[in-house]
Amino acid sequence: MPWLLRHHRYRRHVREIDLATDAPRSFLTFMRANRLLFVAGLVGGLALSDLPAADSAPETPKKPVATNYQGVTVEDPYQWLEEDNEPQVKAWSAAQNQRTRQYLDKLPDRAAIEKQLTEWYAKTSPSYFSLVSRPGILFAMKFQPPKQQPLLVTLASADDLKSERVGIDPNVLDAKGTTAIDWFVPSLDGKRVAVSLSKGGSEDGTLRFYETAAGKALPDTIAHVQYPTAGGSAAWNADGTGVYYTRFPRKGERPEADLNFYQQIYFHKLGTSDTEDTYSIGKDFPRIAEIALESSRDGKYILATVANGDGGDFAHYLLGPDGTWKQVTQFSDQIKAARLGRDNALYLLSRADAPRGKILRLPLEVPELKNAAEIVASGDAVIEHIVPSTDALYVGDLLGGPSQIRRFDLNGKNEMVIPIPQISAVQEMLALEDGSLLFRDVNYTEPAAWFHCANEKTEPVKTALRNTSPVSFADIDVRREFATSKDGTKIPLNIIFQKGMKRDGHNPTLLYGYGGYGISMSPSFDFTRRLWFDRGGVYVVANIRGGDEFGEEWHKAGNLTKKQNVFDDFAAAAEYLIKENYTRPEKLTMQGGSNGGLLMGAMITQHPDLMRAVVSQVGIYDMLRVELAPNGAFNVTEFGTVKDPEQFKALYAYSPYHHVVDGTKYPGILMMTGANDGRVAPYHSRKMIARLDEANKSENPILLRTSSSAGHGMGTALSERIKQLADIYAFLFAQLDMRRMTKYE
């Protein structure tokens, strides 16, 4: 069931999208299992009239606050719910949680679903992701339930599982399972590794250092190198004696309101106190800068990719052997990605006059953009990844959602297409020391596997790093069709269902979407969908605008003042499924998270009659105040600001919180949030639920679930994730009267 990337925006946003799908959106999304018996808690099912009714909503006082925006006075009756630490807010939230638990725990399948998921996850095969290559060694994150968190391991190769050694295991560091690895960076020789660790889903990371062979922790620690606002990063120097790292201001250096902004780069020498670390660059970067660092393989160069918030514009800076930083690109240059090659060159993904991307090669001796030469021209495919190796350039493309891999020489000549399964997604690509390629591929009906493509070969070979599923998807079919949006734009739909399904309008259907930040909804595998399919469910992923499925134009057509296109696309997808007799409104549900939660809020307020139920996770609903939260400031380049007249007009026109209408019969709604969420403030969910409770005239449940041990999704313990999944499935099964439960032989 979707919920929650290697591109800089991916790291900050799409990690939030998938809860149990086989996609590298966080260290916590790779969960697999073996076949076993489903223990049904109920034979048959209950009629909708037999379902438990939700208790009355907690009393929510109105305390109106009026604010003037661009000459428009907007009244906010529930602004008081924004204060996380106020006793009245805590009591209100606890009462909502109690009400939600009483409803969900009465559902007849709830306990059985959690039991089944727990058993599946406990027997899952290991999953390996976020691979990094160093001479003679592979580093990888490994997720192996029932461990609560993924751990860092090393391997001699992708086909030598016996060589695996555990490096850092957060489950040993923290028996409660609340400590997580945010990211890791090995030294260039692989002998040491820097690791950011955070607790409770906070993503507030402390950088620690370990000896690879012994797993021994070094005494050095650097606090607050990672935070949800701007993320975090590090890059080693040539001899492994120190790292360049991202640093947020310390208390006293900036006002309290700016301590999670103004990210800069410092250098830390191992064996010294972090108070002795030296400033490197960043004082002139924007307040909402987000920095990603990379070392060249010889350690002579450090590349800093600087994002201007979350709108998709980047500048690039290069630290060379002379010890000085040079700015290579500006935000206006439309360079979306840069990678250091092993041939003393910088490879650039440009979208200047090429919305689907072209590749430039820039010699490091003359690192000015005017000296870059185009080596791969723009075409029909959207270029997503560029991976230079010793003698080849590997390019990962998007074809409207599914992937493609091409191989070129380092001058962009001798193009070859590396065959991969149809309608599949290449999630990671890694050049090995010998110049060959490892890549991780997944599709809707088969779990992920790492493939190896040797030099000069076109046929990839599946490695030992592969996942298995507890259930077969051999009876599942995937169809790609197109809906027509309000303005005539064709919107791809990936429709997944049991073979032999009748298109009679009676199929329970779950429609999922995101639509933002230039993030693409590519194929993924999720074994828990078996529960959905076995009750006759259809699962649909819509490739709506705001993503990157068709390049920068597709993204820009769904952001800032054009955000309404995203909602129109999703509504068109729902209407297509109804028109084509896949389902009908009484059997249609929708789901999305974060920016996808905003999408859910828009569907609830703009099309309340189009669906039977909605699951919205860590969503954004008050678009007039979102920019006031620390991470909200980073979103201005994607959503816009109330300080701009035209952008305010667009924001106010669709802001879900402001378009809840009294007396409306709303669908069943389950909203989920995390108390430690540093990306989307939990108050968005509180305010939206309060307003919906006040306005709703239907008998459908409107529920808020707040997790005290989670944030936006990253770093959440497996046990809590399973509970969240069980709540989602139980809620949707009840709302759609999905009765059938199938045994797995």
Q: Which residue has the higher pLDDT, 576 or 712?
A: 576
Distance of CA 590 to the CA centre of its chain: 18
Compute how many other C-beta atoms are within 10 angstroms of the C-beta atom of residue 646: 11
Structure tokens at 407: 């191989």
Q: Please compute, for residue 175, the number of CA atoms within 13 A of its CA located in the half-sphere on the CB side.
A: 0
Amino acid (one-letter) located at 414: N
Whether pLDDT at 7 is above 70 = no
Alpha helices in 3-128 (DSSP H): 8-13, 87-106, 110-122
Structure tokens at 319: 């630290």
Indicate the DSSP class of residue 45.
-
Q: 25-39, 274-288, 401-415: which range is least confident on average? A: 25-39
Amino acid (one-letter) located at 357: G
Structure tokens at 270: 């191992």
Confidence of residue 423 (pLDDT cuts 50, 70, 90): confident
CB distance 619 to 594 below 8 Å? yes
Confidence of residue 351 (pLDDT cuts 50, 70, 90): very high
Whether pLDDT at 26 is above 80 = no
Q: Phi and psi of 187, rounded to 5°?
A: -65, 165
Rounded average pLDDT over 519-530: 92
Reported as a single tens digit per residue, the pLDDT across 681-701 is 889 999 999 999 999 999 999
pLDDT value, residue 129: 96
pLDDT value, residue 717: 76
Domain ranges for the chain, please list them: 8-31+45-71+93-120+471-735, 136-296
- Helix H or strand E segment including 719: helix 718-735
**In whole angstroms, how far apart are CA 223 and each of 150, 208, 249, 267, 685?**
21, 9, 11, 14, 30
Q: Which residues contact 528 (CB under 8 A, 6 or more apart)?
A: 1, 20, 117, 120, 725, 729
Whether pLDDT at 42 is above 80 = no
pLDDT value, residue 590: 98
Q: Kindly state the percentage of the chain with pLDDT values over 70.
A: 92
Rounded average pLDDT over 707-727: 83
d(CA 280, CA 269): 13
CB distance 544 to 570 below 8 Å? yes
Rounded average pLDDT over 196-204: 92
Q: Which residue has the higher pLDDT, 45 or 651?
A: 651
**Following CA atoms 239, 240, 244, 246 in sequence, which dihedral angle do they give, to the nearest 10 degrees?**
160
Amino acid (one-letter) located at 146: P
Rounded average pLDDT over 164-171: 95
pLDDT value, residue 50: 57
Confidence of residue 740 (pLDDT cuts 50, 70, 90): low
- For the beta sheet containing 302-308, the strands, ordered from the edge strand earlier in sequence to the opposite edge, are 289-295, 302-308, 314-319, 325-329
Domain range 136-296, CATH class: mainly beta
CB distance 519 to 16 below 8 Å? no
pLDDT value, residue 288: 94
**Following CA atoms 708, 709, 715, 716 in sequence, which dihedral angle do they give, to the nearest 10 degrees?**
-90
Confidence of residue 62 (pLDDT cuts 50, 70, 90): very high
For the chain, give me the number of helices (H) and strands (E)? 12, 38
Strands (E), 681-728: 702-707
Confidence of residue 716 (pLDDT cuts 50, 70, 90): confident
Strands 613-617 and 668-674: parallel
Indicate the DSSP class of residue 254.
B
Indicate the DSSP class of residue 383.
E
If you average pLDDT over every residue of the chain, what do you get?
Answer: 90
Q: Phi and psi of 144, rounded to 5°?
A: -145, 85
């060959």: which residue's tokens?
A: 436
Q: Which residues contact 253 (CB under 8 A, 6 or more apart)?
A: none
pLDDT value, residue 2: 28
pLDDT value, residue 310: 87
d(CA 149, CA 172): 10
pLDDT value, residue 676: 72
CATH topology (fold) of 8-31+45-71+93-120+471-735 = Rossmann fold (3.40.50)
CB distance 408 to 438 below 8 Å? no
The reply to whether 8-31+45-71+93-120+471-735 and 136-296 are identical in fold is no
Q: Phi and psi of 167, rounded to 5°?
A: -95, -70
Rounded average pLDDT over 399-403: 89
pLDDT value, residue 3: 24
Distance of CA 119 to the CA centre of its chain: 26
pLDDT value, residue 233: 97
- Candidates 135, 172, 178; CA nearest to 152 is 172
pLDDT value, residue 674: 84
Reported as a single tens digit per residue, the pLDDT across 488-502 is 999 999 999 999 999
Reported as a single tens digit per residue, the pLDDT across 584-641 is 999 999 999 999 999 999 999 999 999 999 999 999 999 999 999 888 888 999 999 9
Confidence of residue 51 (pLDDT cuts 50, 70, 90): low
Q: Which residues contact 43 (CB under 8 A, 6 or more apart)?
A: none
d(CA 547, CA 423): 17
Q: Phi and psi of 422, rounded to 5°?
A: -65, 150
Q: Which residue has the higher pLDDT, 458 or 377?
A: 377
Amino acid (one-letter) located at 361: R
Whether pLDDT at 12 is above 70 = no
Can you give the three-state secondary structure of 174-228, one letter per residue? CCCCCEEEEEEEECCCCCEEEEEEEECCCCCEEEEEEECCCCCEEEEEEEEEEEC
DSSP string, 456-495: T--S-EEEEEE---SS--TTEEEEEEEEE-TTS-EEEEEE
CB distance 545 to 558 below 8 Å? yes
Confidence of residue 703 (pLDDT cuts 50, 70, 90): very high
Whether pLDDT at 643 is above 80 = yes
CB distance 385 to 372 below 8 Å? no
CB distance 545 to 566 below 8 Å? yes
- Candidates 628, 513, 639, 559; CA nearest to 14 is 513
CB distance 354 to 378 below 8 Å? yes
Reported as a single tens digit per residue, the pLDDT across 124-146 is 789 999 999 999 999 999 998 88
d(CA 158, CA 465): 6
Reported as a single tens digit per residue, the pLDDT across 70-119 is 999 999 999 999 999 999 999 999 999 999 999 999 998 999 999 999 98
Rounded average pLDDT over 519-537: 93
Amino acid (one-letter) located at 591: Q
Which three-class secondary structure state does DSSP give residue 106? helix
pLDDT value, residue 320: 96
Amino acid (one-letter) located at 513: G
d(CA 336, CA 8): 9
Whether pLDDT at 311 is above 90 = no
Compute how many other C-beta atoms are within 10 angstroms of the C-beta atom of residue 402: 23
Which three-class secondary structure state does DSSP give residue 561? helix
pLDDT value, residue 33: 25
pLDDT value, residue 183: 97
Amino acid (one-letter) located at 73: T
CB distance 421 to 409 below 8 Å? no
Rounded average pLDDT over 31-37: 25
Whether pLDDT at 36 is above 60 = no
d(CA 307, CA 290): 5
d(CA 264, CA 285): 8
Q: Kindly state the percentage of the chain with pLDDT values over 90.
A: 81
Global pTM reads 0.86
Q: Which is it for the CA torsion 666, 669, 674, 679, positive or negative?
A: negative
47: alpha, beta or left, given left = phi > 0 and alpha = psi -120 to 50? beta
Confidence of residue 22 (pLDDT cuts 50, 70, 90): very low
CB distance 241 to 270 below 8 Å? yes
Structure tokens at 408: 């070129």
Rounded average pLDDT over 290-313: 95
